[in-house]
């Protein structure tokens, strides 16, 4: 059902038809469908790995970076973790029908504001086959049909995962068309998908600035941008330097090819001379290329650090590269983040509660951390089971996009023969 050669408009129309029935499904049916997905993933690990191996081989031949290959790669542990993420969504409360607020007017009208599905959600993503499952599970649990459009680099992986999902939920009472996959056609297909205003209620893209640019230019469907993450860690003058060292290394090295990895380190001048030599050495030993301003290079001792240029402060490397700068004050760090950040995730390391509070209030980002790695910006880490992306916008959804963010609201009004005078 999800892997046919149907056109974009046909896939979207089928999703629209399915969305009407999906919106009325009870929680038990939706949860049973998600459990069926998890079981099917575990039973068909071999098929998934075979498909993923084809994508990895093609990726290596085309020169994909090691970080992008890591994002693309699946193994048995990752597949079981994806299945575990689906089960985590099963365990979450169903947002559909949740009463946001309720009140009675003086004239006796009973008014309730409740959560309802958005309808049909299109998810466009690059080189992350796990998103196929995360997006489908979150959309189905929140009563939405989903149209998936992955990248060509993960074509085989996405096709088998979408097929497994569609087959599993069809047998559990979910209407046909609820999970659809479109593929092929390149940018032309993407433009067609982005203009399906009669069929799609929302598009959520997960990818780079090129993907965003296409949608900004062509989309007539509403878009929530799960945008790039030029994330910063600022080490304050009052920081615990042992904590700082661990946080910076984790934020950069633990998984550099993802949007919540740190791309810039800012260090207060009062602690730079103590912190940078050892920290820089640890980062370089972990394979990180450092690009520093003049003071950072001077204070890093014998550690090799190339000079940073203007573009480095605005670059989401998605690789083992880190820009390093020394600042004179907390305010200068905040100003730097305001100029170069993308509103994704920003962190301060400090033992000064006033400095931490100032950073929290002044930094304009979806997620602001005190004494913690930016790598925690993730739906699973936030207790959402999974996420479709991390929104850097300020309307409707911001930060990890989970079940509640995939819902709208409507008012249910009950009267007793009321008429307005």
**Strands 399-400, 390-391: parallel, antiparallel or unpaired by DSSP?**
antiparallel
In terms of phi and psi (left: phi > 0; alpha: psi -120 to 50; beta: otherwise), the region of 12 is: alpha
CB-based contact 162:178 (threshold 8 Å): no
Distance in angstroms (rounded) separating the CA atoms of residues 21 and 14: 12
**3-state SS track over 363-398:** CCCCEEEECCCHHHCCCCCCCCCCCCCEECCCCCCC
Phi, psi angles (nearest 5°) of residue 318: 55, 40
Yes or no: say if 390 and 366 are a contact pair by the CB < 8 Å rule.
yes
pLDDT value at residue 298: 96
Cα–Cα nearest to 380, from 50, 130, 174: 130
**Token digits of residue 247:** 């946080």
Structure tokens at 319: 């690789």
Q: In which residue are the tokens 């309720």 written?
A: 102
The pLDDT, as a whole number, for residue 388 is 87
Task: Provide the β-strand partners of residue 121.
Answer: 146, 202
Q: By 3-state DSSP, what share of the chain in percent is helix, strand and coil, each rounded to 5?
A: 45, 20, 35
Cα dist. 63→68, 153, 158, 237 in Å? Answer: 10, 11, 20, 42
Beta strands in 182-303, from DSSP E residues, in sequence order: 202-206, 231-235, 262-268, 289-292
Residue indicated by tokens 């149907």: 6
How far apart, in whole angstroms, are the C-alpha atoms of residue 179 and residue 193?
15
CA trace torsion 343, 345, 348, 354 (10° rounding): 60
Whether 156 contacts 3, CB under 8 Å: no
CATH numbers and ranges of domains, the chain:
8-226+388-414 (3.40.605.10), 231-376 (3.40.309.10)
- Yes or no: say if 165 and 141 are a contact pair by the CB < 8 Å rule: no
Q: Collect all residues with Cβ–Cβ distance below 8 Å to 361 and sequence separation of at least 6.
A: none
Q: With beta carbons less than 8 A apart as the criterion, state whether 149 and 42 touch.
A: no
C-alpha span between 171 and 4 (Å, rounded):
18
Enclosing H/E stretch for 284: helix 269-285
Token code pair at residue 236: 């304050």
Q: Give the pLDDT of the chain (421 residues) as one tens digit per residue.
A: 344 468 999 999 999 999 999 999 999 999 999 999 999 999 999 999 999 999 999 999 999 888 789 889 999 999 999 999 999 999 999 999 999 999 999 999 999 999 999 999 999 988 789 999 999 999 999 999 999 999 889 999 999 999 999 999 998 999 999 999 997 657 888 899 999 999 999 999 987 777 888 888 899 999 998 768 999 999 999 999 999 999 999 999 999 988 999 999 999 999 999 999 999 999 999 999 999 999 999 999 899 899 999 999 999 998 999 999 999 999 999 999 999 999 999 999 999 999 999 999 999 999 999 999 999 999 889 988 778 888 988 888 899 999 999 999 999 999 999 999 9
Place of tokens 């081989």: 57
């Amino acid at each position: 059902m999800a892997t046919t050669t149907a056109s974009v408009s046909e896939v979207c129309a089928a999703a629209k038809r399915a969305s009407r029935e999906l919106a009325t499904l009870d929680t038990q049916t939706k949860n049973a469908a998600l459990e069926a997905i998890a079981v099917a993933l575990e039973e068909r690990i071999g098929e998934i790995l075979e498909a993923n191996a084809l994508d990895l081989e093609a990726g290596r031949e085309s020169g994909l970076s090691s970080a992008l290959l890591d994002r693309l790669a699946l193994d048995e542990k990752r597949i079981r973790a994806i299945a575990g993420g689906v089960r985590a969504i099963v365990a979450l409360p169903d947002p559909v029908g949740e009463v946001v607020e309720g009140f009675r007017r003086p004239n006796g009208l009973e008014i309730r504001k409740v959560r309802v599905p958005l309808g049909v959600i299109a998810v466009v993503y690059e080189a992350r086959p796990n998103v196929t499952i995360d997006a489908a599970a979150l959309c189905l649990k929140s009563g939405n049909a989903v149209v998936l459009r992955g990248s060509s680099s993960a074509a085989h992986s996405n096709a088998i995962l979408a097929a497994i999902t569609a087959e599993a939920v069809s047998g559990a009472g979910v209407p046909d068309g609820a999970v659809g996959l479109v593929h092929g056609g390149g940018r032309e297909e993407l433009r067609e998908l982005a203009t399906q205003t009669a069929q799609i209620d929302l598009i959520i893209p997960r990818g780079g600035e090129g993907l965003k640019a296409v949608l900004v230019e062509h989309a007539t469907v509403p878009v929530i941008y799960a945008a790039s993450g030029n994330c910063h860690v600022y080490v304050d003058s009052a920081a615990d330097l042992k904590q700082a060292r661990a946080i910076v290394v984790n934020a950069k090295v633990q998984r550099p090819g993802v949007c919540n990895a740190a791309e810039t380190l800012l260090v207060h001048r009062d602690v730079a001379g103590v912190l940078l030599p050892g920290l820089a050495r640890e980062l370089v030993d972990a394979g990180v290329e450092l690009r520093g301003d003049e003071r950072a290079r001077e204070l890093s001792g014998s550690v090799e650090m190339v000079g940073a240029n203007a573009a480095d402060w605005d670059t989401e490397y998605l690789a083992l590269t880190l820009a390093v700068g020394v600042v004179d004050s907390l305010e200068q760090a905040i100003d730097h983040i305001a100029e170069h950040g993308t509103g994704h995730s920003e962190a301060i390391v400090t033992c000064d509660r006033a400095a931490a509070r100032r950073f929290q209030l002044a930094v304009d980002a979806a997620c602001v951390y005190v004494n913690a790695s930016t790598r925690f910006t993730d739906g699973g880490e936030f207790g959402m089971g999974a996420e479709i992306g991390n929104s850097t916008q300020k309307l409707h959804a911001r930060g990890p996009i989970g079940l509640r963010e995939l819902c709208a609201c409507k008012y249910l009004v009950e009267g007793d023969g009321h008429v307005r005078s």
